[in-house]
Structure 1
Amino acid sequence: MDPKSILICGGGTAGWMAANMFQHRWPKTHITLIESDNVGIIGVGEGSTPYLKHFFAQLGIKDSDWMPQCNATYKVGISFPNWSTRKGHEQYFHPFFSELDIEPGEPFFHNAKLQRSGVEANAHPDHYFVTAQMARDCSAPISNKYPDLNIDYGYHFDSGLLGEYLKKRAIGLGLTHIVADIENVNVDDNLYINSVQSNAGSHTAEVYVDCTGFRSLLMQQALAEPFISYEDNLFNDSAIAIATDLNLDEPITPQTRSSALTCGWAWQIPLTNRYGNGYVYSSKYISDDDAEQELRAHLGIEDKPEIKARRLKMKIGRIEHHWKGNCLAVGLSQGFIEPLEATALMLVQYTIDNFIEHYVHIEHNSPNKQRNHLAAQESFNSNVNKMMEGIRDYIVTHYVTNTRDDSAYWADCRNALKSKRLERLLKVWDDNGDFESVLNELDDGLVYLRPSWYVLLMGVGRFTTKLEQVAPAAKPVLDYKNSRGYCEQLVADVFPQHNQYLQSIYGDKWPDKMSLI
């Protein structure tokens, strides 16, 4: 049974994604979104995982429909410069994987196992994966020659413009849009919301969706859902964002750069009209002014005060109950894991998809409806928490495996291992144990799959430095040049240049050669 009515409180990318997904799944449900024009949006979440590709496919939205409206580019992975000081491992690329990686990728896992055991083998991940070559060549992940190739890719985009695009689409499909300030949320003794009061009147619904950001007006404030902080192992609580010029005469790289700095890391995201840049850091280790100065130096714009910076605060952690009573929390209102792996919109999408699947399986006409409802909520909340904990563990791994010694921040990050699951995983890796078996055993709690763990750990050079004398016949080392050559040839033959492909889908919306901020 579809809900008769849904009230989404708050807009932004999360609110408008929710609106579009609910409209698609429940076209007969009356959906209302209320948002304030007095509350700004964060607006700097400009990268995605490949999960967003499935969002647009689900809604029947083509890349050529939305990308030109949002200055969007393609993303095939993330590079991580300066997280490691180990020679030859000062930088690595975390690719998005596909079936094209099976042939060149298997030698990587083979050599990685040898190198972990002390055999001298080149297992740097940059040599073995197709999208790593795409990033080097600035190629697009879509082939006109072979349109049926299923390549996982993400996007870079202007999040404010994406919200506007989804907003227009939802309103065009019949959503009721109200611009007003929420003044009160009326809750009964059973912690169900009866109504939401705004300066435009009283609003009621069968399902209430909290997309009010870090304020979490419905879930954390009105329903008093406690917040579980991750500050004990994810230290970053602040960010500074700066936009800089991009020259379209130069190739646009289809990757996010996440460069380690003294007390955090700096992102660089290429759009078609600018670079989005920023510094994610801990205010306990560096002041806001010093962080901005360091970011400006990193970007080479110390002498350009006219280029303005935005300062942001982040609340890292999650709630326990993302669906409580008749309220669903989506986006920042349910929690936030720092943006190192660009997982924010993936969590929005996962939360909504999971809610829909659980809601439709409640037997609403059954005398056991209440029991079914509680069981669905318990299963849903468990799924979302498992997703958030798995993402957190993978992101924490970036920090605990760093080898920088230029600040107390990085030394403290190495000691921030709080997860028993992650502790076990790393111990087996370090002891050259059966890593595959432990990955399989812990699979239910790991969001990131086998290739991602190998790429991260081999990328930063986390393996023994003791090289044993092993007979080549007993443990043959595979030549990385074969895989590298395979990837180079494949990308050159099959995939177009990124700028060229973007121009083909942008048409007359392609911007001027130089975009000035």
Structure 2
Amino acid sequence: MGRIGRPDRAAMNDYAIRKMVIVGGGTAGWMTAAAFSRVFSALPGLHIELVESDAIGTVGVGEASIPDICLFNNLLGIDENEFVRQTGATYKLGIEFVDWTRLGHRYVHPFGHYGIDMMGIEFQHFWLKGKGLGDNSLLDAYSMAAVAGKAGRFMRPHSDQPNSPLSKFSYAFQFDAGRYAKYLRARAEAQGVKRTEGKITKVEQDNESGFVTAVVLENGTHITGDLFIDCSGFRSLLIGETLGVGFEDWTPWLPCDRAVAIPCTHPEGELSEPLTRSTARPAGWQWRIPLQHRIGNGHVYSSMHMSSDEATSLLLAHLDGEPLADPNYIRFTAGHRHKAWEKNVVALGLAGGFLEPLESTAIHLVQAGIARLMTLFPTREFRREEIDRFNRESIEDYSEIRDFLVLHYKATERNDSAFWDYCRTLEPPPGLADKLAMFRSSGRVFRENNELFTETSWLSVMVGQGMEADGYHPAADLLPDNETMNRLAHIRSVVQGTADAMPTQSEFLIQQGSVMVKG
């Protein structure tokens, strides 16, 4: 027997998870398989099996990501240049928003920082002071990521040069979701993951506990497990259909519920800017994700305000090249399962919830779920404390991202359609309402509970969407007016000069040997 207050090792081994079954492949399934087989490979007796059917398609239509993807790839030991080659990836320095504030207006939500903090306060207060003194320069001009992105230029940040603009930005990727899943599958299988092909026709449960005990394939094969990961997409086979966990519907705040996706060819010439583009349309918005070998396009819209035929026609009319496939239609509801973890089932990806890809958060939510499950990895006792914490933190993730997405719709001047009238006048969630009031009052931005989006992100969208601050931090007046104006001009000049010296994205890909592998 072990010491009092300490777990008995033999007892812990008796309760250890021996079999982890991942239901569904795609990006979420293979991210999960690759991560757990890499990090937990040394756990005694742990086996990981992924079940998927080639007959069941995945939603993946091309992915834009946020900088956290770099951390995930590093965790897996992935060489960045190899990843870019294998997935047809391009680099991403932020998202450009077109026509969101008003028709003809555009701004960039960059990855990184604006200017430099001075006098112990954030840079935006000096920018706000400068506006009052007659400096009409855009906030974008102080962002290395925004300026370089619009110029079509890229290089990796230099964290070893803290005083340089090259240390003030980060980056992500735009890549082919199908290629990424295939790439991760090869790594996962090499790390010992067993892949089983087949369509699940039945889920078996323990009569007393209701725990899932096995999934049964069309050919009669039983696949048993201790812990089941539901990566079955919108179907939510285990957490929803089998365990009956309900869904929190956020349609009143996020009314878009349809999407149509169509890839197209690249126009001739230089690769596109290293930016994802989101263009507001009369009943939603259009994404543009430039990869090395094609451009991913999609139109997210509200079916209450536009038909599928209208949405498709509008998308086809705004492609940069020739369509490469038939339209792919997707139905969804914004929101999340009431619980991401119920009994011995954990839902990751679309099985657990969906938030439209306006800020490229889908892969991050999978990644965050994987990290959270690693931290709270259970034994077969499945203790309530770990499950409750997992569910609480998962809901917080969704709620904080939801508020950030709603900001884009709420803070707008557009009144040219019923859709935009609805969005402009909707009552925001309480957390968002507090952030809006604080910024309007004094230009201050606060990040709550280590939420995903930083103060810079909130600032970029609030300013980009036309919100005005009535004041700024009093410490900004510690700098004389002429010194404030001189410093602002100097920062703009250094940022622009640094961007001008960068290679183009195409040049950088060639330099790094990262041009896509064909086939």
Q: Which TM bucket (shorter chain)?
A: 0.7 to 0.9
Q: Is the 8 A contact 1:16 1:167 kept in 2?
A: yes
* 1:293–1:115 CA distance, 2 compared to 1 (3 A): farther
Paired with 1:218 and 1:343, the residues of 2 have a C-alpha distance of 23
One-letter amino acid matched to 1:338 = E
Aligned pair 1:76/2:93, yes or no?
yes
Q: Is the 8 A contact 1:134 1:141 kept in 2?
A: no
Superposed displacement of residue 140, structure 1 = 1.9
Superposed displacement of residue 122, structure 1 = 3.2
Aligned partner (choices 144, 150, 171) of residue 153 of structure 1: 171
Which residue matches 1:178? 196
Runs of 5+ in structure 2 lacking a partner?
Answer: 1-12, 472-476
Map 1:173-252 → 2, pairs under 5 A: 173-188=191-206, 189-200=208-219, 201-247=221-267, 249-252=269-272
Which residue matches 2:452? 447
Superposed displacement of residue 277, structure 1 = 1.1
Which residue matches 1:355? 373
Q: Is the 8 A contact 2:260 2:300 kept in 1?
A: yes
Report the TM-score, using the length of structure 2 for normalisation.
0.86
Superposed displacement of residue 250, structure 1 = 1.4
SS at 2:304 equivalent: coil
Identical columns (%) = 31
Aligned partner (choices 318, 338, 342) of residue 336 of structure 2: 318
Runs of 5+ in structure 1 lacking a partner?
Answer: 467-471, 513-517
Report the TM-score, using the length of structure 1 for normalisation.
0.87
Superposed displacement of residue 35, structure 1 = 0.4
Map 1:54-453 → 2, pairs under 5 A: 54-85=71-102, 90-97=105-112, 108-114=123-129, 120-122=134-136, 124-142=138-156, 151-188=169-206, 189-200=208-219, 201-247=221-267, 249-299=269-319, 308-359=326-377, 373-430=383-440, 432-433=441-442, 435-436=444-445, 439=446, 443-444=448-449, 446-453=451-458
Paired with 2:31 and 2:323, the residues of 1 have a C-alpha distance of 36
Aligned pair 1:503/2:510, yes or no?
yes
SS at 2:64 equivalent: coil
Superposed displacement of residue 483, structure 1 = 2.2
Which residue matches 2:462? 457
Q: Deviation string for 1:310-357 (max 9, x for gaps)?
A: 222123210121111111101000001010001000000000100110
Aligned pair 1:491/2:499, yes or no?
yes
* 1:147–1:326 CA distance, 2 compared to 1 (3 A): farther
SS at 1:461 equivalent: coil
Q: Deviation string for 1:115-173 (max 9, x for gaps)?
A: 89x66543632111111121022122316997997652110001011111111111122
Report the more deviating stretch, 132-141 or 118-127. 118-127
Which residue matches 1:515? none
Which residue matches 2:9? none
One-letter amino acid matched to 1:75 = K
Paired with 1:306 and 1:358, the residues of 2 have a C-alpha distance of 43
Q: Is the 8 A contact 1:93 1:126 kept in 2?
A: yes
Q: Deviation string for 1:452-479 (max 9, x for gaps)?
A: 111111112211699xxxxx99983536
Report the more deviating stretch, 61-70 or 121-130. 121-130
SS at 1:155 equivalent: strand
Q: Is the 8 A contact 1:133 1:491 kept in 2?
A: yes
Which residue matches 1:31? 48
Q: Is the 8 A contact 1:396 1:417 kept in 2?
A: no
SS at 1:435 equivalent: coil
* 1:123–1:420 CA distance, 2 compared to 1 (3 A): farther
Paired with 1:80 and 1:172, the residues of 2 have a C-alpha distance of 41
CA RMSD of aligned residues (A): 3.1
Q: Is the 8 A contact 1:76 1:141 kept in 2?
A: no
One-letter amino acid matched to 1:185 = V
